[in-house]
Structure 1
Amino acid sequence: MKKVGLSVLGVFSLIVIVALVKGVTHYTDQQYHPKSYITPIVFNEQKAINRLAKAIRIPTVSYDDPENFEPASFNSMASMLVDEFPNIHTAAERTKINDYSLVYKFKGSDPSLKPALFMGHMDVVSVDEITLDKWTHPPFSGTVENGMIYGRGAIDDKSTVMALMEAMEHHLTEGHTLKRTIYFAFGHDEEVGGKQGAKRIAEYFEQSGTKFEFVLDEGGVILKPGMMPNISQEVAIIGVAEKGFMNIRLVVEQDGGHSSTPPEHTGAGIIAQAIVKLENAPFPADLSFTNLTFDKLGSYADFGARVVMSNQWLTAPIVKHVLLSNSKTAASIRTTTAATMLSASSKSNVLPTQSTAVVNFRIMPNHSIDEIKSYVEQVIDDPKVKLEVFMANNASPVSTTEALGYKLLEQTIREFDKNVLVAPYMVQGGTDAKYFYRVSDSIYRFMRVKVDNELLSGMHGIDERIPTDDYIKGIQLFHELIYKTAVVPALG
């Protein structure tokens, strides 16, 4: 018995030693280390801030109901860009796509270089009227106060549109000649899926045979210290993929009648049971994207995290349990299921003839729309519940971190601030970039704004705002990216 005990202790000690050694040796420094650093451009920062504030004052709101679309606002936005950026509108070829989306072409001198595409969107989400009195400043006031620019679109995504225009206007003012052709593409309906804007733009490029060295859209940000677990530094996360989106409407039809003589299970009850079944059968966790991010950051993590993450042959169940215990981190490792809409009878004493629910799924890249539908059918396992799929698109492909676009972005972020770590990640929401995989394999998502939970809550919420310092640095980042990409281009 004593020998057995010693043997068990020996095996346990060996496991501990192996785990500790892997914790020390597994993760190597994968950060880019600059040989030199960037001197930021000098320009009239106050005028740039005022121009963003002016853009915010134009209520380019996207509505789910296309009948509510307000063309005057988007025409005003386009006119404002013409007025505020005269050099761009002299030098560029501007094309309107589907009347309201904009494409700018800045032709380069070397046709052997594949062009690059920089994207943003001009539309914003609406503001719930019941929240208006909770805003520090009116949502379309563009108020600048205490180092912040307030208003809907301040982060998502007029800051990207305006920062790109500021950066290119400055290049043209400096008299720089582009070798690589640069395109800007600004959609007008990203917040409702992008089918009338970005999708049409992508089709326009596809029809013209235009292929891109890389595409850069919104999506990633710089996380302030504490936002990335077990990492004490700021982390710039670059989106290399995004989840898919899918709605399934559950429908139960019955004869109806008076509530005094109900069937054993009403349509509403059957729908409720179906939802509970789905919520009790979540999709399995997948750590592949967590590992993709952590592999770039591991050498900067605390020792305990390195031990746990480098020994997933032993610790994977623990890692999954911890990540699944928080709704935000849980969404990063599995396809999510969210019942969002319910309807049945219009009166309390009338049995419903039709009961419905809408369940929204955000799809991991290793799942497909067909697989999700099949899984839902299997879990509900009730022929009385009919399924209707709508507003569905698969998850995007995963772009490599070895391509020119990612490398330029990584280098530029680090050359501005060597204390900011850089890592790839999967965007959990949707962006216009999803439409562009037919014209480029290298699609990335990033905007140069530092966020914490409070700032993130303003996006699509109350008090959306961007620090003026971040906006200025965003202009400087785009200016340098355009310089590296097109003025002194690296070969793709």
Structure 2
Amino acid sequence: MKKVIGLLVLAVIGIFLLATYRANTMYPDQQYYPQQHSNRVAVDQDKVVSNFSKAIQIATISHDYPAPVLAEPFLAFHQHLQASFPIVHAVASREIINNYSLVYKFQGTDTSLKPALFMGHMDVVPVDQDTADKWTHEAFAGVVDDNQIWGRGALDDKATVMALMEAMELSLASGKPPKRTVYFAFGHDEEIGGSQGAKKVAEYFQQLGVNFEFVLDEGGAILKGYIKTVSQPVGIIGIAEKGFINIRLIAERPGGHSSMPPENTGPGILAQAIVKLENNKFPATLRYTNTTFDAIGSYADFYTRFAMANQWLLAPVVKQQLLANQSTAGGLRTTTAVTMMKGSSKSNILPTKASVVVNLRILPGETWKTVLADVERIVDDKRVTYEVFMNNDPSPVSSIESDGYKWIAQTIREFEPETLVAPYLVMGGTDSKYFYPLTDSVYRFLMIKLTPDIRKTVHGIDERIKIVDYVQGIQYFHELLRKVSFDNEAPSPS
């Protein structure tokens, strides 16, 4: 018996030593260390803030289909860009795609280089009328207050569009032409899936036979406390994004007076379906969390490295911890969110048709069709029918070894040397998902710092951006454009 106990003790000690060794050796430092800070181009702050404020005042709202596009705001936004950036419009060729989306081409001098594409979107989500009076400043007033620019689109995503245009205006002001051809593409319906904007733009490029060195869109940012045990801010670059599907669950029942209800009303049937879906989550995986942690794991505390390096033993514990945090749970599984419900028009009328909308964000490896089949299997109720609207499969995963990724990552750390850089899976959707036929290097990042309170304002109340962050975003794009196209002596990133 003593021998058995001794062997067990030795086994436990051996496992502990192996696990400790893995924790101390599995995560080498992968960060880029700049020799010096990037040169920051001089920016006329008053001018760029004024241009941005006016952009926010143009209410380029996207409403869910089949609501038509409101043409006037988008045409006004086009005019604002033209008036604000005269050099860009003198140098670039411009195409209007499907009436409202824009493509700018800045012809390079070296046609042997693949072009680069920088993207953003002009449209914004509506402001919920029930919360409109809760805004500190009216959502489309573009108020500049407390060293911040306030309004719908300040973060999502007019900051990208306007910062790119300001950066290019400054780049061209020197009179030096780009070496690599650069394109800008600004969609008009990203907030409702991009099928009439970015998708048409991608088809336009396919018809031209254009292939890109890389594509950069919105989607990542600099986050503080992204991983609680890593003290430094982390610049997260999206290398893939989830897919999505909206499913309308419908229960049709005989109507009538509420004083004589059936055993289950339509909303009651759907309530049972909702409970089943929320109690039967999709399986969790650490695959994409591991991709991020590999890049910054050397900066985490020992206990976190111990757990992450030994998932053969501790994966259930790691999953439990990450799933308990709303900001990290979405990266582990296909998520299920009930968002819209509808019954009858009056309290004493039994609804003849009740419905509920479920929005699911799909992990790479699954498709919207497999997710739909899983929802039907989980609900398992013949009284419920299913109507799919707006869907897209998850994107492929782009390499972190490409020149495009390295340029983006290096420039982040040159501007913010204390910030770590890591790839990650984007939880939402972006217009860039349509561009994989044109390149295998698609990335998502905007040079802004998102604190937890600011992150909540995206699609929410009091959306805003700090002036200092917006100015740095312009300077970041200017430097990135210099590396990619305007510096004839610049080597490929190491």
TM range (shorter): over 0.9
Does structure 1 residue 32 correspond to structure 2 residue 32?
yes
Q: What is residue 193 of structure 2 aligned with on the other side?
A: 193
State yes or no: 1:237 paired with 2:236: yes
- Distance of aligned partners of 1:294 and 1:4 in 2 relative to their CA distance in 1, 3 Å threshold: same
Q: Deviations over 1:252-282 (max 9, x none)?
A: 3334445555444333332222221111110
Greater displacement, 438-447 / 128-137 = 128-137
**Which residue matches 1:71?**
71
How far apart, in 2, do the equivalents of 1:75 and 1:22 lie? 58
2:220 paired with 1:220: yes
120-129 or 381-390, which moves further after superposition?
381-390
2:116 aligns with 116
Q: What are the superposed Cα offsets for residues 347-375 of structure 1, whole Å, 9 maximum, x if unpaired?
A: 44444333322211100002111211221
After the TM superposition, which residues 283-322 of structure 1 pair with which residues of structure 2 at under 5 Å, given as runs?
A: 283-322=282-321
After TM superposition, the structure 1 stretch with the greater mean CA deviation from structure 2, 360-369 or 480-489, is 480-489
Q: In structure 2, what is the Cα distance between the partners aligned to 1:351 and 1:43?
A: 62
Deviation of the 1:475 alpha carbon? 0.8
- Tell me the amino acid that sits aligned with residue 89 of structure 1: H
Corresponding residue SS for 1:438: helix
The answer to whether the Cα contact below 8 Å between 1:48 and 1:166 also exists between their aligned partners in 2 is: yes
Task: Assess, with a 3 A threshold, how the Cα gap between structure 1 residues 254 and 133 changes in structure 2: closer, same or farther.
Answer: closer
One-letter amino acid of the counterpart of residue 446, structure 1? F
2:345 matches 1:341? no
Cα distance change, pair 467–371 in 1 and its aligned pair in 2 (3 A): same
Larger displacement relative to structure 2 (417-426 or 30-39) = 30-39
CA distance in 2, matches of 1:43, 1:339: 44
Name the residue aligned to 2:41: 41
Shift of 1:434: 1.1
2:430 maps to 1:431: yes
Counterparts of residues 316-465 of structure 1 (less than 5 Å): 316-465=315-464
CA distance in 2, matches of 1:59, 1:42: 30
Task: Look up the match of 1:173.
Answer: 173
Q: Do the aligned partners of residues 132 and 276 (structure 1) sit closer, same or farther apart at CA in structure 2, a change above 3 Å counting?
A: closer
Deviation at 1:100, TM superposition (A): 1.3
CA distance in 2, matches of 1:315, 1:423: 23
Distance 2:255 2:120 in 1: 49
In structure 2, the partner of 1:282 is 281
Secondary structure at the aligned position of 1:437 is classed as helix
Q: 1:18 maps to what in 2?
A: 18
Amino acid at match of 1:285: A
Q: How far is the alpha carbon of 1:3 from its aligned partner? A: 2.9
The answer (yes or no) to whether the contact 1:256–1:353 under 8 Å persists in 2 is yes
Look up the match of 1:251: 250
Deviations 1:302-340 (A, max 9, x none): 111111110000110001111111222211110011122
Q: CA deviation at 1:56?
A: 1.3
| Structure 1 residue 429: Cα displacement | 0.7
Structure 1: tracts of 5 or more residues without a match: none
Distance 2:58 2:254 in 1: 50
Q: Once the 2 structures are TM-superposed, how far is the Cα of residue 33 of structure 1 from its aligned partner?
A: 2.0
Identity %: 55
Paired residues of 2:143 and 2:149 also in contact (CA < 8 A): yes
Contact 1:105 1:183 in 2 (8 A): yes
Counterpart code for 1:124: V
Distance 2:247 2:31 in 1: 42
Kept in 1, the 8 Å contact 2:43–2:471? The answer is no
2:56 equivalent to 1:56: yes
SS in 1 for 2:437: coil
Q: 126-135 or 15-24, which moves further after superposition?
A: 126-135
Q: Distance in 2 between matches of 1:156 and 1:97?
A: 21
Look up the match of 2:272: 273
Q: How large is the RMSD of aligned CA atoms in angstroms?
A: 1.8
Give the secondary structure class of the aligned counterpart of 2:130.
helix
* 1:120-199 correspondence to structure 2 within 5 Å: 120-199=120-199
**Inter-partner Cα distance in structure 1 for 2:133 and 2:266:** 40
Inter-partner Cα distance in structure 1 for 2:343 and 2:471:
51
Aligned partners of 1:91, 1:272: CA distance in 2, in Å?
A: 58
Indicate the SS of the match to 2:38. coil
Aligned residues: 491
Mapped contact 2:63–2:126 kept (Cα < 8 A): yes
| Distance in 2 between residues matched to 1:212 and 1:421, nearest whole Å | 27
1-structure distance, mates of 2:375, 2:135: 40
Aligned equivalents of 1:470, 1:351: Cα separation in 2: 53
Counterpart Cα distance in 2 of 1:114 and 1:192: 30
Q: 5+ unaligned residues in a row in structure 2: which ranges?
A: none
SS in 2 for 1:340: strand
CA 1:348–1:80 in structure 2 vs 1: closer, same or farther (change >3 Å)? closer
Cα distance change of structure 1 residues 258 and 73 upon mapping to structure 2, 3 Å threshold: closer
Does the 8 Å CA contact 1:187/1:194 hold for their aligned counterparts?
Answer: yes
For residue 120 of structure 1, what is the amino acid of its counterpart?
G
Please state whether the residue corresponding to 1:54 is helix, strand or coil: helix
Counterpart-to-counterpart distance in 2, 1:33 and 1:366: 34
Which shows bigger deviation, 452-461 or 270-279? Answer: 270-279
TM-score by length of 1: 0.96
Q: Secondary structure at the match of 1:241?
A: strand
| 8 Å Cα contact 1:219-1:239 kept in structure 2 | yes
Q: Deviations over 1:236-258 (max 9, x none)?
A: 00001111110122223334445
TM-score computed with the length of structure 2 as normaliser: 0.95
State the secondary structure of the residue aligned to 2:400.
coil
CA contact 1:113–1:491 (8 Å) conserved in 2: no
Query: CA deviation digits over 1:49-97, x for unaligned, max 9?
Result: 2211121122222222554643221111111111111111110001111
Question: Against the structure 1 CA distance between its residues 54 and 348, is the aligned structure 2 distance closer, same or farther, given a 3 Å change threshold?
Answer: closer
Which residue number corresponds to residue 481 of structure 1?
480
